[in-house]
Amino acid sequence: MNTIKISYDDQGYRVKPSGDEVGRISNKIARTAKKFERGELKGVITKIGSEGCTFCPATFKNGKRNKDNFEQQQLFALDFDNKDPGRKVSFEDIRERADQNELPILFAYDTLSSTDHDKFRVVFTNDVPIHDRRVAEAVQLALGEMFPEADPSYYKDVSKLYYGGKKLIYYDDSLPETSIESVFRNYTYYTRKKYKDNHYKEHIRGFSKKTGIALTEKGLLDVTVTDHLPETDDPTEDHGATQYSTNGKNSPTAIIYNHDNSNIIEDGEIFPNKYYLINFSSTRNSSVKTPGEKSKNHKKYRSGVLRDMDKCKLFHDFANGGRKLPHHELFGIATNLIPVETGTKYFMKTIFEYPNLYPDDVKNGKWEADLSYMEQNDYYPQACDKYCPYHKECIHCKNILSTVHPKRGSMERVSGCHEEFCSLKEMQDDIYNAVNGAFYASGRKFYIIKAQVGGGKSHSYIKLMKENSDTRFIIAVPTNLLKEEIYEKAKSQGIKVRKTPSLEKIKDEIPDEIWEHIQKLYKRGRHRLVHPYIRKRLEKEKIPCLEEYLKERENLKTWDGCVITTHRYLLSMDKRRIDEFDAVIVDEDILFKSIISNQGEISIPKLDKLMKKTENCQLKEKIRKILKDAETQSCIGTQGFEWDATGGDKATTPFDLPI
């Protein structure tokens, strides 16, 4: 919390305002919203608590104090007037209950009409401003439910103003904060304790209906805390409570976060944002199973990970009873144990193992309830930077789990990692130097140059082609579209260049029957039969687009300049033809783009079944050879064959196994 914004009137009163003065304050206060720095808060709180200055925790748009003009709220107040003789309560009672429910009080004061501390107000601070009125109202209602002795007219209306007091009876200069997650989790705990396991979810459902907050599959309030946002088409940039859109429509998910802490890097440390996601009832909760979706039998991490977690210094302190950990450190560890098999049991076992450190049975019992709530709501592991006192001393990833047990095949950014950036020109020059160095290197070798998208790869090899006009280059790119683009760029530079013709480009001019047959040949891996088939058809009928296509191919064979082609075309070229060129440059990964993506698979049992079923002798013999070689080899090569239409399989579609 760096600043707090409230509606504030600096006019003090010794008696409760009445008559015209009430209207003056009401009209003025919405226009006098003020933002206070941390260092200013004590003075402002003293004026409110001891000098009778009026305030409203919320601020408003358009200078009008009403619900419809709600702007934001970070302070939450409860008013205790003890009018009901059967429900009298002291400030000490309220403070004790607040502590039990992780709701630290910022300040409290006796009201102007208080005698002997019988009427007082308490004020809590949320860790971030809330810009969504629905969320603010839900937080106030949850506080009111946990403190039923409070005046309901106050906690049900976010636009209520509060007159100042005659005496400040409590102030915590550490400026403690609660959070949206803590409020709703402790509201659930309070409700469960009050109404017992058999009935508390009925009251949770009632709260859901009043506030509109959706319920999870387990019947709990759908409120999540995370350090990353879900995928979204158009996340809004405004801080506080935001609406993010999905498919161009407003989604009823409030996202609360602290804009001031975003993108902060300190000594290479990782400072992810903390987001509170509150789903409202008209949206489908991601934790609710879709039809046919199976429940997970296991958690993300097996229990063996617990041994690795002891490598973490903070976890070692916890597991071995090295010291008493404060609540926020215990909470951070708990979130990292939620995704681990037996993790919550391990947490409670450790707590009970050291009664000298954690002697409070009430708090220990609450931990059991909290862990159950966190487990049912699938809490994310909290980031080390948010709670660990050692996060600047060790090399760590995002959280304990990603540090001690990173996901296989993944890369994790560690603390202390400083990203170095360079200018676009420097990057382009570096890529060109790499391409140029590979071109002039001695010997016939393969050189792989890794460069990011938009780094200037095509610019570099076009420049190289221009500088070496007497050299024959063949450039292979992933798509026909990119082939056209590179061809036009090279041509504009005065380079002697041609492009390979494409059937794809003229497919709309090719008769459907012929195009479909060509596609079948390609899909079966019988590329070399495409052009003989085209020539055969041209002998029977005149098809101008195919005649022009073959003419371009023939002209290309005698071309002595550079050629721009595609990955697939390059792979179908004869080695003798490729050797006519001085340099071959392949733009992007040809293995991933053209070879791996064009693979299929068939199991050995299915091959065996096919061999027994087919009546074609050629296919049967080929499968027999494959199965025999598979007993001793992991990589097998076989020759293709031309299908014999008289082989007995006339009713089936002819095919070959391109192995």
pLDDT tens per residue, range 255-278? 776 544 433 344 444 444 678 889
Mean pLDDT of 428-454: 88
DSSP letters spanning 208-268: HHHH-B-B-TTSSB-EEEESSPPP-SB----SEEEEEEETTEEEEEEEEE-GGGTT--STT
26, 162: one domain: yes
Tokens 């005046």 appear where?
151
379, 440: one domain: no
Q: Which residue has the higher pLDDT, 286 or 544?
A: 544
428, 327: one domain: no
Mean pLDDT of 495-510: 91
pLDDT of residue 628: 86
The residue from 139, 157, 178 where one domain ends is 178
pLDDT of residue 450: 87
Give me the helices (H) in 303-409, please: 305-309, 313-319, 327-337, 343-353, 361-376, 400-404
pLDDT of residue 87: 81
Percent of the residues in the chain that have a pLDDT greater than 90, as a whole number: 54
pLDDT of residue 235: 36
The residue from 404, 433, 455 where one domain ends is 404
pLDDT of residue 539: 92
Range of the domain at 344: 305-404
pLDDT of residue 630: 81
Q: Is residue 461 part of a domain?
A: yes
pLDDT of residue 594: 61
DSSP letters spanning 484-532: HHHHHHHHHTT--EEE---TGGGTTTS-HHHHHHHHHHHHTT-GGGHHH
Mean pLDDT of 216-242: 64
48, 167: one domain: yes
Q: Are 281 and 213 in contact (CB under 8 A)?
A: yes
User: pTM, whole model, 2 decimals?
Assistant: 0.62
For residue 581, pLDDT beyond 50 = yes
pLDDT of residue 620: 87
Q: Is residue 292 part of a domain?
A: no
pLDDT of residue 505: 87
For residue 7, pLDDT beyond 90 = yes
pLDDT of residue 640: 67
First-to-last CA distance in the chain? 65
pLDDT of residue 474: 95
Instruction: Show the tokens assigned to 460.
Output: 């570099």
69, 127: one domain: yes
Q: What are phi and psi of 508, to 5 degrees?
A: -70, -20
The residue from 552, 578, 598 where one domain ends is 598
Q: Is residue 54 part of a domain?
A: yes
CATH number of the structural domain spanning residue 40: 3.90.920
Q: Is residue 186 part of a domain?
A: no
pLDDT of residue 9: 93
CA distance 539 to 370: 80
| Coil, strand or helix at 651 | coil
Instruction: Show the tokens assigned to 281.
Output: 């009832």
CA distance 509 to 503: 10
475, 617: one domain: no
311, 437: one domain: no
Q: Is residue 524 part of a domain?
A: yes
The domain total for the chain is 4
CATH number of the structural domain spanning residue 543: 3.40.50
CA distance 603 to 118: 81
pLDDT band at 642 (very low <50, low <70, confident <90, very high): low
Summarize pLDDT for 106-143 with one digit per residue, the tens.
Answer: 999 999 999 888 999 999 999 999 999 999 999 999 99
DSSP letters spanning 35-57: EEEHHHHHHHHHHHHHH---EES
- Using a 10 angstrom Cβ sphere, with 0-12 exposed, 13-18 middle and 19 or more buried, the burial of residue 537 is middle
pLDDT of residue 288: 38
7, 95: one domain: yes
Q: Is residue 374 part of a domain?
A: yes
pLDDT band at 420 (very low <50, low <70, confident <90, very high): confident
pLDDT band at 519 (very low <50, low <70, confident <90, very high): confident
For residue 496, pLDDT beyond 80 = yes
Contacts with 642 (C-beta within 8 Å, 6 or more apart), sequence order: none
For residue 608, pLDDT beyond 60 = yes
Tokens 């047959």 appear where?
517
Q: Is residue 384 part of a domain?
A: yes
* Cα atoms found within 13 Å of the Cα of residue 235, Cβ hemisphere only: 14
455, 505: one domain: yes
For residue 407, pLDDT beyond 90 = no
Summarize pLDDT for 38-60 with one digit per residue, the tens.
Answer: 899 999 999 999 999 999 999 99
Mean pLDDT of 188-205: 94
For residue 242, pLDDT beyond 60 = no
329, 377: one domain: yes
Instruction: Show the tokens assigned to 81.
Output: 């007037």
606, 594: one domain: no
Instruction: Show the tokens assigned to 511.
Output: 């008769």
User: Quick one: CA dihedral 325, 330, 336, 338, positive or negative?
Assistant: positive
Summarize pLDDT for 23-43 with one digit per residue, the tens.
Answer: 899 889 988 899 999 899 999
Longest dimension (CA), the chain: 111
CA distance 567 to 594: 7
Summarize pLDDT for 226-237 with one digit per residue, the tens.
Answer: 876 655 443 333
644, 626: one domain: yes
Q: Is residue 212 part of a domain?
A: no
Residue type, 421: F
pLDDT of residue 363: 86
pLDDT of residue 109: 97
pLDDT of residue 277: 87
Mean pLDDT of 504-517: 90
pLDDT of residue 234: 38
